[in-house]
Structure 1
Amino acid sequence: MSIQIANVSKKFGSFQALKLLNLSIAEGEFVAILGPSGCGKTTLLRMLAGFEQPTTGEIQMNHTTVAKPGFSLPPEKRRIGMVFQAFALWPHLNVTEHVRFPIRHHKETPASIKSREQDRITEVLQMVGLSQHALRMPHELSGGQKQRVALARAIASEPSLLLMDEPLSSLDAMLRMDMRREIQSIHRQTGTAVVYVTHDQGEALAMADRIVVMKDGQIEQIGTPQDIYLRPQTEFVAKFVSKANLVRGRWHNDMFAPISSDGTVQWHGSQVADYFRATGLYPVRPDQFQLSPPHQSGIQGEVVNVQFQGKEFHYDIRSEDGQWEISSPLHFQLHDKVSLNLLNEPVQNYNNIEVFA
């Protein structure tokens, strides 16, 4: 199913939840809607599901209008599946009965699915790894198994669009990793378009074909996970997704001089977005900083906090221009003096070059 969202906005009374969104989703594409609480991502999902009408604009699915002001095609006529943050399982139905329900009762279930109901149930349970638990009741299942049931129920009727609203947020860290793999596997097997709402950057980066980053009801940036992470276009995306440190300084063409280095250190920045050039900033991810002993070429700083994370250490480094978050495999002690540079970037002195603001 392809989706076109054109000039869509949504107001609740005087509150503007969404502000003129434009977005296209290709058939079979996995799109993550990423943003903090209150940014409008769930409102957008609810309009795709048919639970809300837009205040302005239009939503089309397969080139057919399904929502516009004063009109919204009901959810049961959209051939969609939904997975919620809460498992939303019925306590009186076993696993098989949960999967059977949409096959029998969804109006848009294809006849080819209805005619081979038991085969489809068996196929779906195998897909989510629940074949051995077909007769169990919800109270007999773990959290991860319950979420697999919710996922199996959502895909049982072979929907053209799968909507997922923070489905892993109630699971512990290890289960979330397992379920990411399950969702990716199901997406590959079914070819269903997926719109996945999350505030977790790791989930979006790991699973999506494209990420839509939202803030205050607007789209900040759309791109592949690599584009969003490596080439943020705004300060919000740099901080929210890349966890970037925003270093102040001066730009001269593609060269940047950090303000705390007195212009003696230059960083290459040909891939840095125009926004940062205009505002005199350079986004540096925690893993882009290189730590070295003090008094070498670079920003001089002091270790003010250390967290051991197995393969690396997470540092807070205080410098003349602020405090930076840095990840490094090198071990320094609290209050050690260090120098900061860009990892794998040629760093030289350019004393003979005039640097402009």
Structure 2
Amino acid sequence: MSINITNVGRRFARFAALKRINLTIKDGEFLAILGPSGCGKTTLLRLIAGFDTPSEGTIEMEGNKVSSPKHHLPTEKRNIGMVFQSFALWPHMTVRKHIEFPLKHHQFVNQSLRKNMEQRTNDVLKIIKLQDLAGRMPAELSGGQRQRVALGRAIAPEPKVLLMDEPLSSLDAELRIAMRSELQEIHRLTGTSIVYVTHDQGEALAMADRIVVMNQGSIEQIGTPQEIYTHPRTSFVAHFVGKANLLKGSWQGRRFFPEEAAHISWPDFGVSKELKQESIYPVRPEQFFIRRDGGEIPGTITNRQYQGKAMRYTVQTAGGSRQVDTDLTDYFQLGESVFLVFKTIPLADAKEVETGRSENVGESV
């Protein structure tokens, strides 16, 4: 199902929870709405679901208007499925009964599914990998299994769009990672459009076809996970997704001169005009080397965190605290004086490929 959201706003008294949101959700895509608490992402999902009405603007589903200040199509008349953070399972129903329930009562269930309810139920149980636990009650299941029941119940009637509000946030870290693969597989098998609300950048980057990054009721950027991560448009996106170091300095043509590094300039590898207007250059933690001598930016190691595959250091420089990820073989002591060096990134990853230009990173001037 395609969804068009045009100039949608939602106010609560004097507070603007959403500010002129414009978004098109493509048929069959996995769209993540990403942002911190209070950014408006759940409010937007509630408007799509029909739980609330916009103060301005319109929402269309497959070309039909479903929401505006003067027009509201009830939730039960929208061909959608919902998965909540709390699972919302019925304690007196078995796993099988949960899957059967929407097949009996969902308004948009295809008659062929209803007539072959047992086969459809078995198919869904196989998709969510609970065919051997069909007779169990929710209290007899693990957290991940209960989440799969909620997913199965939502996809059983073959809704046109599946709306998911922080569905993995109540699970432990290991289960969350495992469930990401489950969700991706379900999306591939069903082809249903998914709108997935989360504050977890890892979930959005790992699963989504496109990501909508929201902040304070507005959309900051829309793009593929790679576009959002490698070419953030605003300082908020750069820091929120990937914790980029935002270095201040000056732009002179296509080169950036950081304030805290004398006689050094860095090339423009697709930095947005918004960041250039703020005189900012974003550097990801993995884009810095730490050296004991011969570097560009002097600093001091103030913190060290072991992260399994890497070590994250906090380096205090003249411009502020910088986050740097290194190999485990690169070991530095707290309080040690070091230098940061900006890594050369492959030419194929640079926007300058489009113009046929090539410049060395960290070139002295």
- Tell me the TM-score normalised to structure 2 length: 0.94
In structure 2, do the counterparts of structure 1 residues 286 and 92 end up closer, same or farther at CA, with 3 Å as the change threshold? same
Match of 1:312 in 2: 310
Match of 2:351 in 1: none
Match of 1:238 in 2: 238
Cα displacement (A) at 1:266: 1.4
5 Å-filtered alignment, 1:275-286, equals 275-286=274-285
Q: 1:299 aligns with which of 297, 300, 309?
A: 297
Cα displacement (A) at 1:348: 4.5
Name the SS of the counterpart of 1:108 in structure 2.
coil
Q: Which amino acid aligns with 1:3?
A: I
Worse overlay, 167-176 or 338-347: 338-347
Match of 1:203 in 2: 203
Name the SS of the counterpart of 1:287 in structure 2.
helix
Cα displacement (A) at 1:113: 1.0
Residues 274-307 of structure 1, C-alpha deviation per residue, up to 9 Å, x if partnerless? 122222111111111111123x131011111111
5 Å-filtered alignment, 1:5-24, equals 5-24=5-24
Task: Determine if contact 1:109/1:157 at 8 Å carries over to the other structure.
Answer: yes
Name the SS of the counterpart of 1:19 in structure 2.
strand
Q: Aligned partners of 1:138 and 1:225: how far apart in 2? A: 35
Q: Aligned partners of 2:364 and 2:46: how far apart in 1? A: 55
5 Å-filtered alignment, 1:148-163, equals 148-163=148-163
In structure 2, do the counterparts of structure 1 residues 216 and 104 end up closer, same or farther at CA, with 3 Å as the change threshold? same
Q: Aligned partners of 1:318 and 1:195: how far apart in 2? A: 40
Worse overlay, 245-254 or 197-206: 245-254
Residues 202-231 of structure 1, C-alpha deviation per residue, up to 9 Å, x if partnerless? 000000010000111111100000111110
Name the SS of the counterpart of 1:311 in structure 2.
coil
Worse overlay, 23-32 or 252-261: 252-261
Task: Determine if contact 1:76/1:108 at 8 Å carries over to the other structure.
Answer: no
Q: Aligned partners of 1:13 and 1:57: how far apart in 2? A: 17
Residues 9-42 of structure 1, C-alpha deviation per residue, up to 9 Å, x if partnerless? 1112222111111100111011000011111110
5 Å-filtered alignment, 1:128-143, equals 128-143=128-143
Q: Aligned partners of 2:318 and 2:64: how far apart in 1? A: 58
Q: 2:364 aligns with which of 306, 325, 350?
A: 350
Task: Determine if contact 2:31/2:195 at 8 Å carries over to the other structure.
Answer: yes
Q: Aligned partners of 2:324 and 2:11: how far apart in 1? A: 41
Q: Aligned partners of 2:55 and 2:275: how far apart in 1? A: 34
Match of 1:105 in 2: 105
Q: Which amino acid aligns with 2:296?
A: G
Count residues with an aligned counterpart: 349
Cα displacement (A) at 1:168: 0.2
Residues 76-126 of structure 1, C-alpha deviation per residue, up to 9 Å, x if partnerless? 111100000001000010100001110101111111211110000000010
Q: Aligned partners of 2:73 and 2:299: how far apart in 1? A: 59
Q: Which amino acid aligns with 2:264?
A: V
Q: Aligned partners of 1:75 and 1:174: how far apart in 2? A: 34
Cα displacement (A) at 1:349: 4.6
Residues 237-272 of structure 1, C-alpha deviation per residue, up to 9 Å, x if partnerless? 01111211111112111211211112x111112311
Match of 1:265 in 2: 264
Match of 2:348 in 1: none
Structure 2 stretches of 5 or more lacking a match? 346-359
Q: Aligned partners of 1:310 and 1:343: how far apart in 2? A: 22
Task: Determine if contact 1:33/1:41 at 8 Å carries over to the other structure.
Answer: yes
Q: Which amino acid aligns with 2:171?
A: L
5 Å-filtered alignment, 1:33-72, equals 33-72=33-72
Residues 156-210 of structure 1, C-alpha deviation per residue, up to 9 Å, x if partnerless? 0000000000000000011001110000000001000000000000000000010
Structure 1 stretches of 5 or more lacking a match? 352-357
Q: Which amino acid aligns with 2:269?
A: S
The reply on whether 1:337 has 2:337 as its aligned counterpart is yes
Task: Determine if contact 1:230/1:242 at 8 Å carries over to the other structure.
Answer: no
